[in-house]
Amino acid sequence: MTNSSQDKAPLLDVNCLSVDYGLKGVSLRAIDRVSFALQAGEAVGLVGESGSGKTTTAMAIAGLLSPNARVSSGEVRYRGSRLPIDDDAAMRPHRWCETSVVFQGAMNALNPVHRIIKQIAEPCMLKLGMSRGEATARARELLGLVGIPTDRGSAYPHELSGGMRQRVMIAMALACRPSIVIGDEPTTALDVITQAQILKLLGELRSRLSLALILITHDLSVVAECCDRVMIMYAGRIVEDGTVAEIFAQPKHPYTRLLIESIPNPASGKKMIRPIPGDPPNLVNRPSGCAFHPRCPSAMGVCGTEVPSLDQFGRGRVACHLHRSSRGDKVAVHA
C-alpha cells in the first residue's frame, strides 16, 4: 500500500527508462532511469530546463526517438503491454491513435503548403481508414471543438495567428481519439492571454474527452494552471514528483524550490525574479553525485559523491540527500 494507484493498472508505465544519444562515437545519456506511471485521464506536468531530458522522455513515450537515440535500459508499458519504442516501424500503429503530440511553435509543426483542413483530416484517412468525405467532416467537427470557425479550414497555416495555429495542432492531435496527448511546450511562443486561452482549452478538452495529458514545459506556472501532478527533471533524472498543490506549498528538492521562487509573482510586487545561479548541467561532463550539487544552496559533502535515489517521500517522490534521513525505512516515513 505504498501507492494509492496500485489497485488499478496505470494507463502508461515508464520503468527505469534510460536513453542515450550517439555523438561522434561518444555516448551521451539524455535520460537516466526515469520511472513513473500515468493514470487514464490524469494531467502531469514535466518541468525542467533545456537539457533536462523532458523532451526526450516525452518523445520516447510517443515512440518518436531520433535514429541516433538508443534505449539502453528500461521499458514503457501501455495498457499493460510493452511498447517497442526503439522500433520505428513497429511503433507506427500506436502513434496518433493512442498517443498524439501537440508540438511547440505550431508554425513549423504544420506543413506550410497544405490547407489546415487537409492536415487535420490526414490521420483520419490514413490511420482510421475514413474516406476523404468522412475525414473532412471529422476535421470540421474537430475545428469546431477547438473553437475555430469551420470556414477557416481552407486557410494555410501562415494565414492564421499563433494561437489559431496552436488550436489547429490540438484539433489534429485529437483526430484519432487518443488516450494520451503530449503537449510539447504548447504555449511557449504565445502571448500571455493566448497562452491562458490555450491552456483553458486543453483543460476543458481533457475533462470532456477524459484524456491523459503530459505537459512538457520549462514554466511552472503553466503546470499550475492545468495539471494534477508535476514531475521536476534535472540533467536527465526526475528529482521530484508530487501533486501540484503539494509541490507549490512545500517543495522538497532545493531545485524545485528555486524554480518556484524564480516565477515572477505580480501579487507580491516587491519581489524580484530570482534566477537560479550557475550554468545548466553539462551532460558530457555530468557532475558527480547529485547533478545539481554545484548549483545547490544546501549542498553537503555526500551530494558530490553519491547519486541520490528517487524515493517515496510523503505522497510524492524526491531524489535529494536532504530528504534521506529515513533511508531504508520508507514505509515509516510514509505512515
CB of 156 to other proteins, least distance (A): 4
129 binds other proteins (CB under 8 A): no
Which CA distances in Å does 188 have to 54, 106, 206?
15, 10, 20
Scanning 102-110, 246-254, 290-298, 315-323 for contacts with other proteins by CB under 8 A, the matching segment is: 102-110
Which CA distances in Å does 264 have to 258, 260, 275?
12, 9, 10
**Nearer residue to other proteins within complex by CB, 21 or 248:** 21
CB of 143 to other proteins, least distance (A): 17
Positions 3 through 62 that interact with other proteins (CB under 8 A): 21, 23-24, 28, 30, 50-51, 55-56, 59, 62
- C-alpha to C-alpha distance for 152 and 156, rounded to whole angstroms: 9
Site of grid cell 485521464: 41
Scanning 107-115, 204-212, 242-250, 256-264 for contacts with other proteins by CB under 8 A, the matching segment is: 107-115
Per-residue x/- track, 59-88, other proteins (CB under 8 A): x--x-x-x-x--------------------
268 binds other proteins (CB under 8 A): no
- C-alpha to C-alpha distance for 154 and 149, rounded to whole angstroms: 11
Contact 292, 255 (CB under 8 A): yes
149 binds other proteins (CB under 8 A): no
Which CA distances in Å does 28 have to 18, 126, 290?
11, 36, 17
**Nearer residue to other proteins within complex by CB, 146 or 320:** 146
* H or E segment to which residue 206 belongs: helix 192-209
Of 88, 53, 51, whose CA–CA distance to 68 is shortest?
Answer: 88
Give residue 32's identity as a one-letter amino acid code.
Answer: D
Write out the residues near other proteins by the rule CB under 8 A. 21, 23-24, 28, 30, 50-51, 55-56, 59, 62, 64, 66, 68, 91-97, 100-101, 103, 105, 108-113, 122-123, 126-127, 156, 158-159, 172, 279-280, 282-284
